[in-house]
Amino acid sequence: MATAVGDRLTTVWTGLDRRHHLALAALVVGVLAVVPLVTNNEFLMNTLVLIFLFGTMGHGWNILGGYAGQVSLGHAVMFAAGAYTTAILFVYYGITPIVGIPVGGVVAAVVGLALGAATFRLRYHYFAMATLAAALIVRVIFFRWEWVGGATGIEYPFAELGTLASLTFRGNLPYYYLIGGFALLTTLFVYVMDRSKLGTYLKAINMDQAAAESAGIDAFRYKSYAMGLSSLITGVCGGLYAQYVLYIDPASTLRLLRNIDIIMVAIVGGIGTVLGPLIGAGVFITVREYTRTSLSGTQTGLGYVIFGVVLLFISMYRPGGILNRYGGRWDD
Amino acid sequence: MLELELGLISLGGRLSLVPQATVTAVVFGFVYALVAAGLALIWGVADIVNFAHGEYMLIAMYVTAFVASGFGGGASPVVLVPLNAALLFVLGYATYRLIISKVMDAPMLAQIFATFALVLIIRYSALFVAGPTTVSIDNYVFEGQTQLAGIAVAHPEAITGVVSVAALGLLFAFLRSTRTGKAIRATAQDREVAQVMGIDTDHIFGLTWGLGLAAVGVAGTLVATFSPIHPELTPTSWTLIAFAAVALGGFGSVLGAVAGGILIAFVENLGAVLLNPSYKELYVFVVFIGVLLLKPEGVLNRGDA
C-alpha cells in the first residue's frame, strides 16, 4: 500500500512542471504557517518542530549520501560541531546564537571537509566504516573533554531564557517558525540543486564514479562540495537543536543513534530525492514521538525495533524509499 | 589534562605493568581473533559487511546470562558453548536465507542498511527484554585466578582464551580439509566459476553466515562469564574491535583477521598501561581509522564499478 502511494506521489510530482511545484509547495507551506494559529497542542507543535529539524538534517545527509552516494555514518560529528559551537560561544563567551548558529554551520563544514579530505578515497562500506569510526572517536573525546563540559555537557543559563540575544524562547511557537523557516530554505536549495550542474554531477558520481571521472568530472572536488554543503546544513541544525532543547551533552548529540536517526529520515522518504527527507521525517518522527510518549521505560526501544523492521523491508524490497528514485529495480 | 594524569604514575611504574598487560593482551587477543575471524569469513566469502556482528554476539551473551541466572548458576558454559554455537549457526543461516540473499545483488546502500536494520532490531529487542542496565553473571562456574611471577590471570579469562583458540583451530580445520570448507573457499575466490562447477553458492553463503556467527556464539558465551553486558555499549565495542581487526588483517582474510585481533588486543592493553587507561577504546578506533586511511590498497579497488 505504502509502495503504491509512493509510486503515485513520484509520478504526480515528476509529471508536474516547475510552476505547479511551486504552487503546491506554497499551499503546503501556507497550511503549515497557519497551523499554530489554529491549535496550540503541545505534542503536535513539538512533533512538527522535530519533523522540520530532522527533515532538514535528512536534506543535509541526503546531499552527500543520497545524491553523491557516499554513505556517511558519522554525521553526528557535524551535528555536534554545530551544537557545541553555538552553545560554547553563547554560554562561555556571551556571543549571541544569531551569530553562533551560522558560525557553528561553518565550523561543521570545515570539520566535514577535513573528514572528507581524509576519507573520500574510500568507497562504499569502507567510507561508511571510516565515518563511523570518526564519530566514535569524537564521542569518546567529548565524553572526557572537560572544557566542553565532559559527560555533563553544557546547559543554557536559565536567567537568559527568552531574551532576544539568547535566541531562546518560552513555548514552541517561535521555534516552529525559526526551524520551519530554515527547513523551507534548505528544501528550496535542494530543489534548485537537484536540477543544477552540481546535482547532475553528484548523481553521475553516484551512478558510476569511474565513468563520471572519465567524462571529466573531478569526483573528489564535487564530493567535497557535497560534503561541505551537507555538513553546513547539519551543523546549523545542531545549533538550532541546542537552542531548542537548551542543553547539550555527548550522550544526546554524539550517540550512535544520532547518526542513524539522520540517515533513517533520508532513507525512509527516498534517498536522492528533494522531498524524500521531509516525508521520511514526517513518518519517522511521528512514529518515534508517538511510541516515546505512549510507551515508557525500556519499551521506548520498541520504536527502534519498528524502524529496524521498516529499514529492513525498505532495503530488501524498495531500496529507493517511499519516493523511489530507483524505479523499483536494482540499477545503482 | 592528559599530561597531568600521566604524570601521576612514573614511567618506571608504568613499565612494570607491561608484563601483566601483555598476558591480558594475549588472552583477549584470542577471543578478539575469533570474533574477527567470523566477520572476515562473511566479508571474504559473501562480500557483505555485517554491521550487526556485535549484536549477534549480544544474543549469545544474553542467552548465557539468562540460563546462568535461571538455573541458579547450574548450567555450565561448557554445555552452553556448543549450544550457543549451534543457535547462532542456525540464526546465521536463516539471516542469510531470509534477508541477506535478497540484497546480495542490490546497491551497496541497501546492503549497508539491511545489516544496520539488524543492529536496530536485535539491540532494541534486547533492551526491551533485558532492560537498559548492565547484566552480569556472579559466582559462575569459573572462579578465582592464578598468580605466576606477579602476573595474575583470572580463570574465566584464561578459559576464554583457550576455548577461543580451540574454536579457531576447528574453524580452520573445517575450511581447510572438508569438502564444504573447500566449496566455501572456492566460492570466495570466484562466485560464478564456483556456480558453474555445480556448487550451490546460496547454500554456501548461508553456511558462511552460520559459521561466522557460530564464532561469535562461542565468543559471546565465554565473554559473558566475566564481562558485564550492556545492550547498547557491548555490541558497539565488539563490532568495532572486529572491524579494526579485519582492517588490520587485510579485508576479507580470515587468517589476517586472527592476527589483527591479537594485535588489537595489544594496542588496547599496552595503550592503557603506557598512555592512559581511560582511553582504551580510543586507541582501537584510532588504529582502525588509521589503517583505513593509510592502507588503501585492497580497499580502493574492491567493489568498484
Identify whether B301 is part of a domain.
Answer: no
pLDDT score for A112: 95
What angle in degrees, to the nearest 10, is found between the helix axes of A124-144 and A97-119? 130
Pick from A138, A112, A105: which is nearest to A255 by CA?
A138
CA distance B242 to B6: 29
pLDDT tens for each residue of B119-155: 999 998 988 888 777 887 765 566 677 777 777 778 8
Put simply, whether B94 touches A (Cβ < 8 Å) is no
CA distance A259 to A133: 12
What angle in degrees, to the nearest 10, is found between the helix axes of B233-248 and B53-70? 130
Report the SS3 class of residue A16: coil
Mean pLDDT value across residues B105-123: 87
- Nearest chain A residue to B280 by CA distance is A140
pLDDT score for A299: 65
Give A184-189 contacts, CB < 8 A, sequence gap 24+.
A184/A29, A186/A56, A186/A59, A186/A60, A186/A233, A187/A25, A187/A55, A187/A56, A187/A59, A187/A274, A187/A275, A187/A278
- Nearest chain B residue to A313 by CA distance is B114
Residue range(s) defining the domain that contains residue B234: 2-132+141-294
- Nearest chain B residue to A135 by CA distance is B285
Identify whether B299 is part of a domain.
Answer: no
Any idea which residue has 538534517 for its cell? Answer: A57
Identify whether B251 is part of a domain.
Answer: yes
Q: Which residue has the higher pLDDT, A185 or A37?
A: A185
CA distance B147 to B154: 9
What residues pair up with A155 in beta bridges, in sequence order? Answer: A247
Compute the half-sphere exposure of residue A201: CA atoms within 13 Å on the CB side of its CA: 18
Q: Which residue has the higher pLDDT, A177 or B110?
A: A177
pLDDT score for B32: 95
Mean pLDDT value across residues A65-84: 91
Mean pLDDT value across residues B35-50: 90
* Residue B76 vs residues B57, B142, B204: alpha-carbon distances, Å: 18, 9, 32
What angle in degrees, to the nearest 10, is found between the helix axes of A42-62 and A219-245? 160
pLDDT score for B72: 53
> What proportion of chain B, given as a percentage, has pLDDT over 90?
31
Phi, psi of A68 (to 5 degrees): -85, -10
Identify whether A289 is part of a domain.
Answer: no
* Residue B157 vs residues A245, B221, B228: alpha-carbon distances, Å: 44, 12, 13
CA distance A75 to A65: 10
Contact assignment for A210 to B132 by CB distance below 8 Å:
no
Mean pLDDT value across residues A47-59: 94
Domain count, chain A: 1
CATH classification of the domain holding B120: 1.10.3470
Mean pLDDT value across residues B96-117: 87
In the predicted model, is pLDDT for residue A158 greater than 50?
yes
Put simply, whether B49 touches A (Cβ < 8 Å) is yes
Identify whether B152 is part of a domain.
Answer: yes
Q: How confident is the model at residue A325 (pLDDT cuts 50, 70, 90)?
A: low
Which string of b and e fits A243-258 if b means at least 16 CB within 10 Å? bbebebbbebbbbbeb
In the predicted model, is pLDDT for residue A105 greater than 50?
yes
Identify whether B65 is part of a domain.
Answer: yes
pLDDT score for B10: 67
pLDDT score for B2: 45
DSSP code of A237? H
pLDDT score for B136: 77
In the predicted model, is pLDDT for residue A1 greater than 60?
no
Compute the half-sphere exposure of residue A116: CA atoms within 13 Å on the CB side of its CA: 26
Closest by Cβ to A271, choosing from B105, B109, B114? B109
pTM: 0.84
In the predicted model, is pLDDT for residue B16 greater than 50?
yes
pLDDT score for A169: 82
Query: Picking from A149-153, A297-301, A305-309, B13-17, which range would have the lowest pLDDT averaged per residue?
Result: A297-301
Contact assignment for B281 to A136 by CB distance below 8 Å:
yes
In the predicted model, is pLDDT for residue B54 greater than 80?
yes
pLDDT score for B301: 35
Pick from B80, B48, B37, B57: which is nearest to B238 by CA?
B57
pLDDT tens for each residue of B55-82: 999 999 998 888 877 655 556 777 889 9
Put simply, whether B232 touches A (Cβ < 8 Å) is yes
Cβ-Cβ contacts under 8 Å for B250 (sequence gap 6 or more): B256, B298
Identify whether A187 is part of a domain.
Answer: yes
pLDDT score for A326: 56
In the predicted model, is pLDDT for residue A236 greater than 90?
yes
Identify whether A301 is part of a domain.
Answer: no
CA distance A89 to B206: 54
Identify whether A49 is part of a domain.
Answer: yes
Identify whether B300 is part of a domain.
Answer: no
Over chain A, what is the mean pLDDT?
85
pLDDT score for A81: 95
Identify which of A188-197, A232-241, A292-301 has the greatest average pLDDT: A232-241
**Pairing label, strands A247-248, A154-155:** antiparallel
Interface test with chain B among A119, A125, A318, by most B beta carbons within 10 Å: A125
Report the SS3 class of residue A150: coil
Which string of b and e fits B81-98 if b means at least 16 CB within 10 Å? bebbbebbbebbbebbbe
Identify whether A160 is part of a domain.
Answer: yes
What residues pair up with B148 in beta bridges, in sequence order? Answer: B151
- Is residue A71 within 8 Å of residue A199, measured between CB atoms? no
* Interface ipTM: 0.82
Contact assignment for B240 to A133 by CB distance below 8 Å:
yes
Cβ-Cβ contacts under 8 Å for B119 (sequence gap 6 or more): A308, B51, B52, B55, B235
Contact assignment for B109 to A69 by CB distance below 8 Å:
yes
pLDDT score for B302: 42
Residue range(s) defining the domain that contains residue A247: 42-258
What residues pair up with A154 in beta bridges, in sequence order? Answer: A248
Query: Picking from A48-52, B231-235, B247-251, which range would have the lowest pLDDT averaged per residue?
Result: B247-251
Identify whether A165 is part of a domain.
Answer: yes
CA distance B143 to A329: 56
In the predicted model, is pLDDT for residue B93 greater than 50?
yes
What residues pair up with B153 in beta bridges, in sequence order? Answer: B146
In the predicted model, is pLDDT for residue B207 greater than 50?
yes
DSSP code of B229? B
pLDDT score for B299: 39
C-alpha cell at B30: 584470542
Identify whether A229 is part of a domain.
Answer: yes
pLDDT score for B203: 92
In the predicted model, is pLDDT for residue B300 greater than 70?
no
Q: Which residue has the higher pLDDT, A292 or B285?
A: B285
Contact assignment for A316 to B114 by CB distance below 8 Å:
yes
- Nearest chain B residue to A321 by CA distance is B110
Query: Picking from A32-46, A290-304, B262-276, which range would have the lowest pLDDT averaged per residue?
Result: A290-304
Mean pLDDT value across residues A209-227: 90
Mean pLDDT value across residues A45-53: 92
C-alpha cell at B160: 576464554
pLDDT score for B78: 73
* Residue B212 vs residues A119, B123, B174: alpha-carbon distances, Å: 28, 19, 13
Q: How confident is the model at residue A252 (pLDDT cuts 50, 70, 90)?
A: confident
The DSSP element (H or E) to which B22 belongs, if any, is helix B18-46
Domain count, chain B: 1
pLDDT score for B75: 65
C-alpha cell at A135: 564519530
- Is residue B260 within 8 Å of residue B248, measured between CB atoms? yes
